[in-house]
Amino acid sequence: MGNTIKTGIIGGTGYTGLALLEVLVRHPNVELGFVTTRQESLSGEYVHREHPNLYGLSDLKFSIYKPEDPSFKEANQLLLKQVRDSDVIFLGVPSGVSMTLIKDFLDTGTKIIDTSADFRLRDPALYKEFYGRDHPLPELLKDFIYGLPELHREEIKNAKYIACPGCNSTAMILAGYPLTKIENLDFKVTYTIMTGSSEAGSEPSRASHHAERSGVTRPYSIKEHRHLAEVRQELKLPPLKVGVSMFAVPMVRGVECIGNVFTNRPVEEKELWKAFRSAYEGSPFIRIRARKTGGPGSLPDTKYVRGSNFGDVGFFLDEKHGRIGVLSAIDNLVKGDAGNAIQSMNLMFGLNETTRLKDMVPSYLFE
């Protein structure tokens, strides 16, 4: 391989596919060879037919990939050849689908970056607990690296297979990780997450209908969420030490996260500063916001990360109630999704991890 990374996207019509395309079509080191759909009406159509914002930015056309349908044998074989000729592919398909499609791709020898939940968890038992099904390929889980560069940078550099984190997991892990750097600290954390509508993907449902979703602050998954499994794994916390309640709020993009933390001993503010700084030293997309004066930008806020790969983190001490607050804000489709995937790709291919991603300046006067 020279300076150019040959790649393609499986599942390019969805929101993750779109978020990947938005970055990859302008990535200076990427040659994007294919993007797939199962929809026959889109076969051979320009990607901007489905994603109108890409008009004028890419001449790429959709390819059909439908391995379950024998009438597409030729198209399926052509696609597998393109995968074989690629350096890495991205899977932008739903959880439960990656684990079925992946068998064909493993044989090609090509690197894989999966955005679904299918290979994020090391312990197969967690799939039963959180996803209600046995994992069909448990022996493969150990071959995947969790694609959060802030925690796994060196492993990602040498990885063949990457499982990108969920968006809510990214937010919870980034907020809580610095606490694991404080010596002799035992803590319990309960997160509250406020999340935008694009997190649910592009497939419409009653709950996602504008009339139902607009203007709402709606609790859901109030006692637990699937992404908690990743938080337990990455922060090495037992079930009794971490929980989450989810709220759907009226925004399209964004995850706002606060963790209420109770500790076995008092913690000083300078310890928190030291922990946050040391946790994210050398992490170019993490910004610490912990200003006591209040006002916009004093703590992580979705408005200041939207459209970018930044993960803003912060904290406050509530001495009166013996509580620490840890916070984070991300764009669910970038730092919570395609951003982690492409940051990981950059690392896997020896590029600066900020390549292309640092150009994504948060556009805060949106919505």
Ligand X SMILES: NC(=O)c1ccc[n+]([C@@H]2O[C@H](COP(=O)([O-])OP(=O)(O)OC[C@H]3O[C@@H](n4cnc5c(N)ncnc54)[C@H](OP(=O)(O)O)[C@@H]3O)[C@@H](O)[C@H]2O)c1
Distances (CA, A) of 24 to 67, 170, 242: 25, 21, 36
The phi, psi pair for 65, rounded to 5°, reads: -135, 115
Interface residue with ligand X among 197, 302, 309, 332 (CB under 6 A) is 332
Q: Are 62 and 50 contacting, i.e. CB atoms less than 8 angstroms apart?
A: yes
CB-closest chain residue to ligand X: 14
| 3-state SS class at 41 | helix
Q: Which of the stretches 110-118, 154-162, 182-190, 315-323 binds ligand X when contact is defined by CB under 6 A? A: 110-118
Does 325 participate in binding ligand X (rule CB under 6 A)? no
CA 299/CA 120 separation, integer angstroms:
29
Q: Which is nearer to ligand X, 79 or 242 (CB)?
A: 79
Interface with ligand X, residue 308, by CB under 6 A: no
167 is catalytic: yes
The residue (of 47 and 347) whose beta carbon lies closer to ligand X is: 47
Tell me how far, at minimum, the Cβ of 122 lies from ligand X, in Å.
18
User: Of residues 6, 23, 32, 37, which one binds ligand X by CB under 6 A?
Assistant: 37
Collapsed DSSP state (helix, strand, coil) of residue 97:
coil
The residue (of 256 and 271) whose beta carbon lies closer to ligand X is 256
- Partners of 169 in the β-ladder: none
Q: Indicate which single residue of 53, 202, 278, 363 sits in contact with ligand X (rule: CB under 6 A).
A: 202
Minimum distance of ligand X from residue 3's CB (angstroms): 28
CA distance 201 to 178: 30
| From 37-45, 51-59, 128-136, 311-319, span contacting ligand X (CB under 6 A) | 37-45
Among 4, 31, 39, 322, binds ligand X (CB under 6 A): 39
Between 37 and 355, name the residue whose CB sits nearer to ligand X. 37
Q: Rounded to the nearest whole angstrom, what is the least distance from the CB of residue 169 to ligand X in the complex?
A: 9
Task: List all residues 6 or more positions away from 331 whose beta carbon is below 8 Å from its beta carbon.
Answer: 253, 254, 255, 302, 305, 306, 307, 308, 309, 310, 339, 362
Backbone dihedral angles phi then psi of residue 63, each to the nearest 5 degrees: -110, 150
**Widest CA span in the chain:** 68
In terms of CB distance, is 117 or 351 closer to ligand X?
A: 117
Shortest reach from residue 203's CB to ligand X, in Å: 4
- Separation in Å, CA 334 to CA 48, 161, 239, 253, 317: 20, 20, 28, 9, 29
Binding mask 237-276 for ligand X (x = CB under 6 A): ----------------------------------------
Which one of 113, 167, 229, 330 is the catalytic residue? Answer: 167
Q: Does 38 bind ligand X (CB under 6 A)?
A: yes
Residue choice 124, 136, 201, 250 for contact with ligand X (CB under 6 A): 201
Burial 82-115 (b: 16+ CB within 10 A, else e): bbeebbbbbbbbbbeebbebbeebeebebbbbbb
Q: Give me the half-sphere count of Cα atoms (radius 13 Å) on the Cβ side of residue 361.
A: 2
Give the helix ranges, DSSP H, for the chain. Answer: 15-24, 47-50, 73-84, 98-106, 125-131, 149-157, 167-176, 210-213, 228-235, 269-279, 339-348
Among 25, 80, 97, 317, the residue binding ligand X under the rule CB under 6 A is: 97
Ordered strands of the 255-263 beta sheet: 218-220, 242-248, 187-195, 255-263, 323-330, 311-318, 286-288
Least distance in angstroms from the C-beta of 188 to ligand X: 27
Query: How many residues line the site for ligand X (CB under 6 A)?
Result: 29
Binder to ligand X among 22, 58, 75, 92 (CB under 6 A)?
A: 92
The least distance separating ligand X from the CB of residue 59, rounded to whole angstroms, comes to 19
- Minimal distance, residue 272 CB to ligand X, in Å: 28
Query: How would you classify the pairing of strands 88-91 and 111-114?
Result: parallel
Catalytic residues, by residue number, are 167
Where on the chain is the footprint of ligand X (CB under 6 A)? 11-17, 37-39, 92-95, 97, 115-117, 166-167, 198-199, 201-203, 332-333, 336-337
